[in-house]
């Protein structure tokens, strides 16, 4: 986990609406939220020294898709938990091979996501 | 002002949106996220949706107006629109978006700019516009009623 006790989350999705929904959901858990609109921006977050405990990663994004971003982050040695959340069911294998910890299909079921966060020990 | 009646009207309008298939389960999830910290969350999200979807639909209109149609681009726009529909539970719009994307795929397979497929795409898009317009009207009416009725306790799900 990042040095702070607050769970730091990076939401990576090119859709503003989706990011807004995830932000509201995670904010109620007291998480600290940062957003990125594509995979490249997500990678840049880490290149500029930021740390995150959890990443919610879409796949279909401009500049760099979620699978490539995941692969790049793992290649950089980033240990953050990565939950792929995408409408693209066919990307499951690619995401897991790239190093994602979990894969969810959109629309995300918040109960399922909460259970995953508990399993990752992000929630008491 | 008869707040009870207003709330009853809002509840009836909301039930109709689900019964007639305009909204699905995903809308319930948004409502569950609304709380004291985000008291207008659902309306904010819906407002974002209609702003975003109007922009996407304008892009699609422009792309369809062109003499040489780029069906790959159209599919990308429609994928984004469908994603937004999915996020708020706009079920009927989502179904029409799927139908449009199937037209785009048929066109890509045909590769000959078949007039019949093009017509199907255009008709499909007109349906999407109609669904968008109806959903917008209904949701605007719903939120207006809620505002007039004033703060309420948490909404309860209609019986399934």
User: What pLDDT, on the 0 to 100 scale, is given for residue B108?
Assistant: 61
Closest by Cβ to A21, choosing from B30, B79, B80: B30
pLDDT for residue A1? 53
Residue % of chain A over a pLDDT of 90:
85
Q: Do A107 and B89 touch (CB under 8 A)?
A: yes
- Distance CA(A59)–CA(A61), nearest Å, equals 6
The alpha-carbon gap from A57 to the nearest alpha carbon of chain B, in Å, equals 15
**Domain containing residue B140: CATH number:** 1.20.120.160
| pTM, rounded to two decimals | 0.85
Which residues in chain B touch residue A27, judged by CB atoms under 8 angstroms apart?
Answer: 37-38
Q: Is residue A93 part of a domain?
A: yes
The mean pLDDT value of chain A amounts to: 94
Q: Do the domain assignments include residue A94?
A: yes
- Nearest residue on chain B to A27, judged by CA atoms? B37
Q: How confident is the model at residue A3 (pLDDT cuts 50, 70, 90)?
A: very low
Number of compact structural domains in chain B:
1
Directed axis angle between helix B25-33 and helix A16-27, to 10°? Answer: 50
- Output B139-145 pairs: Cβ under 8 A, ≥24 positions apart: B139/B17, B139/B46, B139/B50, B141/B13, B142/B10, B142/B13, B142/B14, B142/B17, B143/B43, B143/B46, B145/B6, B145/B7, B145/B9, B145/B10, B145/B13
Whether the predicted pLDDT of B111 surpasses 80: no
Domain that holds residue A29: 8-115
Which of A25, A60, A107 shows the shortest C-beta gap to B87?
Answer: A107
Range of the domain at B76: 3-147
What is the CATH number for A93?
Answer: 3.40.50.2300
For B157, the token pair is 């799900």
Instruction: Please give the Cα distance from A21 to B2 (Å, whole number).
Output: 33
ipTM of the predicted assembly exceeds 0.85: no
B92: pLDDT strictly greater than 80? yes
Q: Is residue B63 part of a domain?
A: yes
């Amino acid at each position: 986990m990042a040095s702070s006790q607050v769970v730091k989350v990076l939401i990576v999705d090119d859709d503003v609406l989706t990011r807004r929904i995830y932000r509201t959901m995670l904010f109620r858990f007291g998480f600290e939220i940062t957003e990125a609109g594509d995979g490249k921006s997500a990678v840049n977050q880490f290149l500029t020294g930021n740390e995150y405990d959890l990443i919610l990663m879409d796949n279909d994004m401009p500049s760099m898709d979620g699978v490539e971003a995941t692969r790049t982050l793992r290649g950089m040695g980033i240990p953050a938990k990565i939950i792929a959340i995408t409408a693209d069911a066919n990307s499951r294998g690619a995401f897991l091979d790239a190093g994602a910890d979990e894969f969810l299909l959109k629309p995300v079921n918040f109960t399922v996501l909460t259970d995953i966060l508990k399993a990752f020990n992000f929630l008491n | 002002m008869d707040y009870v009646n207003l709330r009853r009207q809002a509840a009836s309008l909301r039930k109709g949106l689900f019964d007639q298939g305009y909204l699905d389960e995903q809308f319930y999830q948004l409502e569950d996220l609304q709380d004291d910290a985000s008291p207008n969350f659902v309306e904010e999200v819906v407002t974002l949706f209609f702003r975003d979807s109007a922009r996407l639909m304008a892009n699609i209109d422009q792309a369809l107006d062109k003499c040489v149609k780029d069906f790959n681009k159209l599919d990308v726009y429609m994928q984004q629109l469908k994603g937004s529909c999915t996020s708020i539970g706009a079920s009927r719009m989502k179904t029409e978006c799927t139908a449009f994307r199937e037209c785009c795929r048929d066109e890509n397979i045909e590769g000959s700019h078949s007039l019949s497929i093009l017509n199907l795409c255009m008709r499909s898009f007109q349906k999407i516009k109609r669904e968008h317009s109806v959903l917008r009207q209904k949701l605007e009416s719903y939120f207006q009623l809620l505002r007039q009725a004033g703060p309420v306790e948490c909404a309860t799900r209609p019986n399934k």
